[in-house]
Amino acid sequence: MITIQKKNNLIIVAVIGEFTLSDYKEFEQQVLYQSHFDGKANLLFDWRDMLDYTVDVAWEEIKFMRQHGSEFDRVAVVTDDEWQAWGTWVFNLFVNANVSVFKSYEEAEEWASASDRIDS
């Protein structure tokens, strides 16, 4: 199950339990909708309560990020799990965004709420 909320330019996705393909499709729809109307967004993935994910989610994530990875400025992942942190490093190969892993939700939200854009 996932929850998705938006705070200014930040889209927060919390995963609870198993992360399924239908959850990921919901995430895709929300993010594409937001980026279509609001431009580039920052993402915050809260994986602290994620127990597992299905293989099709991993494949869908790679496809989605290869296609839409340039639509994000910052991507923060909150996790204590070393495998999830490693997976984030792999994820970083497919996006043109600043990606970082955090153990503290507050630090991740603060970092992800900032912008890498330079306004003229």
Say if CB 15 and CB 23 are below 8 A apart. Answer: yes
In sequence order, the 6+-apart residues with CB closer than 8 A to the CB of 47 are: 15, 77, 78, 79, 81, 84
Q: Which amino acid is at 106?
A: E
pTM: 0.82
Collect the ranges in the chain with pLDDT lower than 50.
118-120
Say if CB 113 and CB 69 are below 8 A apart. Answer: no
pLDDT given at position 119: 43
Domain boundaries defined on the chain: 2-113
Cα–Cα dist 66/93, whole Å? 9
Cα–Cα dist 104/39, whole Å? 27
pLDDT given at position 78: 94
pLDDT given at position 118: 44
pLDDT given at position 116: 58
pLDDT given at position 92: 67
> What is the CA angle 85-18-39, rounded to 5?
65
Homologous superfamily assigned to 2-113: SpoIIaa-like domains (3.40.50.10600)
